[in-house]
Chain A
Amino acid sequence: MHDMSSYIRIKFYVLCMMAVLVLSACAATELEERCFPILTSVGFEDRKVTYALGFPREGLAGEESKNSKTNVSRVKAKNFKESKTKYESRLNKVVDYNHLKVIVLEEDFMEQVKIYEEMIDYLAELEEFPRNTYVCAVEDVEDLLEIEKDLPQELGTYLEEYLNKQENAKGDILTLGDLMDEKENKKMVLYIPYLEVEDSYVEWEGYYAVGMGLPPVKFQ
């Protein structure tokens, strides 16, 4: 009798779990409905923030990705939040930032201290971008995007590997998490790598110093 009631009890629990788990899967966004950018570029042009994403050349199943170009439809808006939202609304898939490797910030954008700090606050609140995303700065984002076709792989992966290679010589690579934490703590100076585009390749030429509650300062 005891074994029978245990058997019925187990069956009941398993049936309930199966029903709930099957129903809960209805809400999930399937992989085919998502896109996975690996690079975000943020600039400043005509007093507006520009925003664009870079995608891997190969999709998840190894096929040629339809979203492989980074210079498609850069958008402009009043601030980072609006330009990000505007860009995402123009894509035909849901953006999943979990595979993001690098954020590239334009020099002109870094000079807009208030807008730059708003971006950091917004990203900290949003929690969409991975904390270990690398951050770097360039003079002109368009120059960087132009060289992608000459690179052995997509720009995001190339920059990630380039920065990793430089880590031994130049020190720890700055991540988005470091920037977000320092914005709150105001105790350290952090150094964002400043890259220059030369002959279809990038060179790490200097830094942008940020932190301690002070505006970003460039030095080479």
Chain B
Amino acid sequence: MYVNNGEISSRQTFRLYVFDLMGIATLLLPPYLAQLCGIDGIWAILIGTGAGVLYLIYLGWVMKRMQMDACTYLRENTGVIFRFTTVGLVWLHSIITAGFCAYVFSNLMQYTLVRESKFWIILFVIVLVAAYAVSGGIESRARVYEVLFLPVLIPYIAMMLATIKDFEFVYVEDVFRVSGRQLLEGSYLVFLFLAPLFYSLFLIGEKEKNYGRNVVKTILCSIGLSALILFLSYVLLVGNFGENALAKMRFPVVTIMSTIQFKGNFLKRMDALMLGVWFFTLYALLNLHLHYGVLLLKDAALKENKNQKAKQEGRQTKWWQLVVPSVLVFGIAYVLQQYEDGIRLFLNYYAYVAVPIMVVLPLVFVIVGRKNKSA
């Protein structure tokens, strides 16, 4: 039944968040973490995950105060200027991050499969497919990822475990060498990859006394599983390549897949097949941000009208609400490609601008909302 109410189940939320968190983290995080912390990056993963859990608990407290999703809360409890400013900021961040995801996705495809193809063609196809998926609504995407979850995750874990035979203990024996400052920087880097938790404020939760409790419990499980996968992947990558070699690699988790050889001369190109893991997970993350880029635009254009027909029309996506964010996403990804290290550029933006705002903003929602209520 086509419901189109923007609601997804707990299981779908869990699986969607696992994809969003573990995909890009396993792909991009290891080389940067190896540069900062070496093998001690495993402690940074634990500390960063702990920070992510605290952040989620804090978001849960905010959800309990709001008692509804953030879009509705801002519309009903805050002034027009504040609402448009904050929604605008979140919208801008969603578009920039979606552009980054599209850039990484296109880069990965070009680097691993189609080196001779032009970057902009690959990017165009990816953005087109993402826009198509977003136009189908969050329910359809959530259902797809619910079904894909095990077929993606089980082969990934199996392949990573197959790398144990080339594990060198000499690469992982030098622990506790990193300074406190490096460990903190590494932990913050890990926390950056958990920042999409912010969007849990926009999930439509079940109407209950402690609004958001189920969402928090579900996403807590997602964090746990994603962190475990990331931890395992990092240890195996350091054990196979060594921290210095790992620090210089581009997509080491893809490279390690190409080193696995099965006896019996079958399954020779498993590495190409395993790329599906990051295709689906990066695609999920791109869709997450593009979805909020479209949703927030729809919300800003929504007129205050209690009429049922108008509400229904408001839920439907107009063509420009999909095209404008998609074009911007394409543009941002294309611009990032012009830089020698677009990933580092984006991580600097994320670390110094986006994430601090995402930490402070929920509290500001509650404070301003309460002030308006009491006024």
How many residues from B make CB contacts under 8 Å with A?
26
Q: Is the CB of A28 within 8 A of B170?
A: no
Also in contact, A24 and B170, with CB within 8 A (given A17-B128, A132-B259):
no
Q: Is the CB of B170 within 8 A of A177?
A: no
Also in contact, A20 and B242, with CB within 8 A (given A131-B258, A184-B248):
no
In the complex, whether B340 has a CB less than 8 A from a CB of chain A is no
A75 to B260 Cα, complex, angstroms:
34
Q: Is the CB of A181 within 8 A of B125?
A: no
What 0/1 readout, one digit per residue, does chain A (130-167) give for beta carbons within 8 Å of chain B?
Answer: 11100000000000000000000000000000000000
Q: Give the residue of A27, A180, A183, A185 whose beta carbon is less than 8 angstroms from that of B117.
A: A27
In the complex, whether B304 has a CB less than 8 A from a CB of chain A is no
Q: Is the CB of A177 within 8 A of B259?
A: yes
Q: Is the CB of B258 within 8 A of A132?
A: yes
A contact residues around B259 at 8 Å (CB)? 131-132, 175, 177
B contact residues around A185 at 8 Å (CB)? 171, 242-245
A183 to B244 Cα, complex, angstroms:
9
Q: Give the residue of B116, B122, B241, B258 whose beta carbon is less than 8 angstroms from that of A181.
A: B241
Closest to A131 in B: B259
Q: Give the residue of B116, B132, B135, B168 whose beta carbon is less than 8 angstroms from that of A29.
A: B116
Closest to B116 in A: A27
What 0/1 readout, one digit per residue, does chain B (213-253) give for beta carbons within 8 Å of chain A?
Answer: 00000000000000000000000000001111101100000
Q: Is the CB of A9 within 8 A of B135?
A: yes
Also in contact, A28 and B244, with CB within 8 A (given A13-B128, A21-B125, A132-B261):
no
Using a CB–CB cutoff of 8 Å, the interface residues on chain B facing chain A are 114, 116-118, 121-122, 124-125, 128-129, 132, 135, 168, 170-171, 241-245, 247-248, 255, 258-259, 261
Q: List 23 A-B contacts (CB under 8 A).
A: A13-B129, A13-B132, A20-B121, A21-B125, A23-B121, A24-B118, A24-B121, A24-B122, A24-B125, A28-B116, A124-B248, A130-B258, A131-B255, A177-B259, A181-B241, A182-B242, A182-B245, A184-B242, A184-B244, A184-B248, A185-B243, A188-B168, A188-B170
- Additional A-B contacts beyond A184-B244, A185-B242 (8; CB < 8 A): A17-B128, A23-B121, A27-B116, A27-B117, A124-B248, A182-B245, A185-B243, A188-B168
